[in-house]
Structure 1
Amino acid sequence: MVELVFITPFVTGLLAFVLPSALSRQLLVLTGAVHLVLSLLLWKNTPQAWFAEYFAVTPEGLLSLLVISLLFFLISIYTTGYLAAHGLKSENIFTGFMLLFLSTMTMVTLSDHIMVLWIAIEATTLASAPLIYTHRSGASLEATWKYVLICSVGIAMALVGSLFLTFSMELGGVTSAMSFSALTPVAAQLDPAWLKAGFIFIVVGYGTKMGLAPMHTWLPDAHSEAPSPASALLSGVLLNCAYLGIFKTNKIMVSAGLSDFSGTILIVFGLLSIVAAATYILKQTEYKRMLAYSSIENMGIIALGTGIGGLGVYGAVICMIHHSLIKSSLFLSSGNILMGYKDRLIANTGQMAKQMPKTFVAFFAGFAGISGFPPFGIFIGELFIIMAAFKTGHYLAAGIFIFSLCVIFAGFARQVMAICFDTPAETGTGPAADGKDVSFKEPPGMIWPQYVLLLTSLILCFFIPDALYQTIVDAVHAIGGGLQ
């Protein structure tokens, strides 16, 4: 049953390559629906894996799986309209790799063995790279190669870190299986020097895929060039998978009594990412790159909260959930903007509130949510992280965090206001710049998935089902965090 959740999209993905375009679109939505049902059944029953030494249902993995499954289902619905309106060549290849991407990301969430997790995260790179190259332009080719090369180097470093963990087992006399579930209870017996070295390499390695600065350089190009449904998956789901690798390894560090060491490293990388996002977001001229730097900021926030510990871990998990929901909505809305204005430059957009009112509502609400406005969940998560930082004496980190948030909001707000309300610049070349009405008709299938994502984020701020809340609490406690 456990393995069936990632085997199903793998099989349908292979099938999509040989189907006509119309059938591959239907298969995409059908697989998304089946995957969501299987994930909910897995959440309800928590069965034993067929290969229990390699796969297991853990609270953090299950939480990520639920987010992945819901997002993919809604994105698949949007994708059918996107493909019909865009007229991509070789649609079956695009939908096939979308399904393979879902399979590999699902495998990441269910992997318990250290090396199987590494294989699964590397597989996400191979499955998602063709999605970035969909438009087959020179810029997309460059972005794809940058993504593959940088992430492959990072994954290679994560492999070295995984090997260092095995050295810590040998020197500590530990003979258990190389799984996170087996190593966490005996973490105190592992050799601390090799364990620390392994954690550093794993943070740098998986942090590259997560988009932590200064290893983030692939992310803006990849998000900018990929089709909007792929960008939504890359930002809303893939980054969480990479974080899961760091999260699971940090569980071992906490159990080994090395939480201060691992926490300091995560705080440093988290602050670097937030500051980098604040620096670059101010001068962005493309709205998709702007959203990409916002993702770097949010990954930094998640790393910062995890590093601070305690209530900060709870804040980090809350931010992870709501970032996935809201940022996916924003990237889907950016696809509508691109179809309407035929340009990625902010200067060539304008007056979206008048030209594309339905997309405007989704985009502006997404901006409010991702900027940390109440009552969206990002506000709650950031508030918990700030409280935890002051409670644990990380005053400098809290100060840098708050200042950077203000800078990012100022830069983000200026660009969003220009897109939504300003008259396009005279130098613009898009339809709005020429005084023409945008011809994009905003079909329902390309609007309501964003609304559902934003509504889900809002609902979770006021009501979290008991089973979901318990899953979140279990994930937080697994890494030494808490609600106090």
Structure 2
Amino acid sequence: MIEFIFLLPMMTGIIALFLPVNLGRGVLVVTALLHLQVCVMGWMGKLEPIFGAFFGRSPEGMLVLLVTSFIFLFIAMYAVSYMAETSMQSEPIFIGCMLLFLGTMSMVALADHLIVLWIAIEATTLVSAPLIFINRSKRALEATWKYVLICSVGIALALLGCFFVTLSMDVAAINVPLTFTSLNAVAERLDPFWLSFGFIFIIIGYGTKMGLAPMHTWLPDAHSEAPSPASALLSGALLNCAFLGVYKFHTLMHLAGLGSFSSNLLIGFGLVSMVVAGIFILRQPDYKRMLAYSSIENMGIIAFGVGIGGIALYGALLHLIHHSLLKSSLFLSSGNILLGFGSKLVALVGGLTRFLPKTAVSFLAGFVGISGLPPFGLFISELCIIFGAFQAGHYLAAIVFIASLVLIVAGMAQIVTDMSFGGGDQVEILVGEGFFRVMPPYVLLAASIILCVWLPDEIYQTIINTISVIGGTIHG
């Protein structure tokens, strides 16, 4: 049964809450390995849903699921070494919540029912909140409360959006199950006013969890205060799950003949997110917050690409994959920097290439990748989005898009070069570079390079199946 994909980490997560530390670490890694194996089986069609009225294998869901499972495996390996170095308080809670987080995100990816999707996205908030508060500092408490409150308000608005979608069925006298599969089949018959009204609440609600500006205010605090393995999951996996909610409803809008309305909203929110991120990245004093604002930028890029459509939609899905790989790698590298220098402040980090050379390589390579430069995959995805914008006649939007990219790369470049090559003469490194804290970032970077030059047919076909429903193409 395909439901085992999310039941496995949920069950082991509950068990891990009561296990000794060493055994819990083993359960974390073993569960990550088993989860990836089961996900591949689901990807290959060897698992069928038992509760078909609630869960299914949509191509966009399976894409997000595979990316989530892949990065979780290496984040779990990193987390074991990270926890050993930090002597983390409440480690069983951290391990248990990591696994529960994986389970709820997997549930999001497999959900086909509107309300089940909503429940699963809300559950990701509840089980990931302890990961942010695990250090129990005053700033961590503040970040956790902002995360829970703002995201809960956003999710409540998304629920209201779901209500308006059901109202569009009632007005049109349509009686079908509340699944995306059923609604897509009757989309042209849905009442356009209430469907459009509902999408406004959906994009604001799920867009809050996705980190789109101006609803993004929880994200920099949460991603900065969480331990690095949790930050990697929040940026590399959770944001994709929220995007999945927006994308499914955008598909419904397109099939209902309202694609231009939802597309314009996505383009607008995408550009605003990029501009806001660019402004706050400039002279950012905290390098983890810099990475958090970069996540806001990249969610904006994805939203923009989906809104443009055509080849840009193909680029947006590619961007989702590569952003997850690169941003997870960067947050794991930043964890090594935090352990080594004992500070998140850029001013207190220097000479990274001398003191932590292996981490410096992964951090610099991650910066090159997240800046959209070859040989990493964001180079191709951003080119596709830019070409798509010009091809669709969105000239002004394309110019703002490019200008925002330049602004963000310039801001990040100054911070990364200062950390890597500047100062650091009197620095005493607190923790060195362990193999299992160096290897995972390198593997994630390598995966982005490999997928840039060779995209397996299975992944390519999944992307094509996802975008073809709403007119996406790979032809420039």
Q: Structure 2 length normalisation: TM-score?
A: 0.99
In 2, the alpha carbon distance for the partners of 1:10 and 1:407 equals: 41
Aligned to 1:248: 248
Aligned to 2:369: 369
- Tell me the alpha carbon deviations over residues 217-245 of structure 1, each in whole angstroms, 9 at most, x when there is no partner: 00000011000000000000000000000
1:79 deviates by 0.4
In 2, the alpha carbon distance for the partners of 1:362 and 1:470 equals: 30
Question: After superposition, where does 1:70-89 map in structure 2 within 5 Å?
Answer: 70-89=70-89
In 2, the alpha carbon distance for the partners of 1:398 and 1:436 equals: 44
What is the aligned residue count? Answer: 475
CA contact (8 A) 2:62 2:109 kept: yes
Are 1:440 and 2:425 matched, yes or no? Answer: no
- Tell me the alpha carbon deviations over residues 270-324 of structure 1, each in whole angstroms, 9 at most, x when there is no partner: 0000000111100310000000000000000000000001111101001100000
CA contact (8 A) 2:41 2:47 kept: no
Letter in 1 for 2:72: F
Letter in 1 for 2:236: G
Aligned to 1:429: none
Letter in 2 for 1:139: R
Aligned to 2:173: 173
In 2, the alpha carbon distance for the partners of 1:478 and 1:453 equals: 30
1:379 deviates by 1.1
Distance 1:418 1:7, change over 3 A: same
1:45 deviates by 2.0
1:464 deviates by 1.1
Aligned to 1:292: 292
CA contact (8 A) 1:247 1:479 kept: no
Aligned to 2:190: 190
In 2, the alpha carbon distance for the partners of 1:77 and 1:479 equals: 38
Aligned to 2:468: 477
Question: After superposition, where does 1:96-135 map in structure 2 within 5 Å?
Answer: 96-135=96-135
In 1, the alpha carbon distance for the partners of 2:175 and 2:395 equals: 42
SS at match of 1:373: coil
Letter in 1 for 2:465: D
SS at match of 1:313: helix
1:436 deviates by 3.4
In 2, the alpha carbon distance for the partners of 1:480 and 1:102 equals: 31
CA contact (8 A) 1:21 1:90 kept: no
Instruction: Mark the runs of 5 or more structure 1 residues left unpaired by the alignment.
Output: 424-431
Aligned to 2:211: 211
Counting aligned pairs with the same residue, the percent is: 56
Aligned to 2:232: 232
CA contact (8 A) 1:323 1:370 kept: yes
Distance 1:46 1:303, change over 3 A: farther
In 2, the alpha carbon distance for the partners of 1:173 and 1:48 equals: 32
Letter in 2 for 1:126: L
1:46 deviates by 4.9
SS at match of 1:215: coil
CA contact (8 A) 1:288 1:334 kept: yes
Question: After superposition, where does 1:297-336 map in structure 2 within 5 Å?
Answer: 297-336=297-336
Instruction: Give the root-mean-square deviation of aligned CA atoms.
Output: 0.8
Aligned to 1:16: 16
Letter in 1 for 2:289: R
In 2, the alpha carbon distance for the partners of 1:479 and 1:200 equals: 19
- Tell me the alpha carbon deviations over residues 415-448 of structure 1, each in whole angstroms, 9 at most, x when there is no partner: 000000001xxxxxxxx46x13424220100011
Q: Structure 1 length normalisation: TM-score?
A: 0.97
In 1, the alpha carbon distance for the partners of 2:110 and 2:155 equals: 19
Greater than 6 Å deviation, 4+ residue runs: none
Distance 1:342 1:121, change over 3 A: same
Aligned to 1:408: 408
1:465 deviates by 1.2
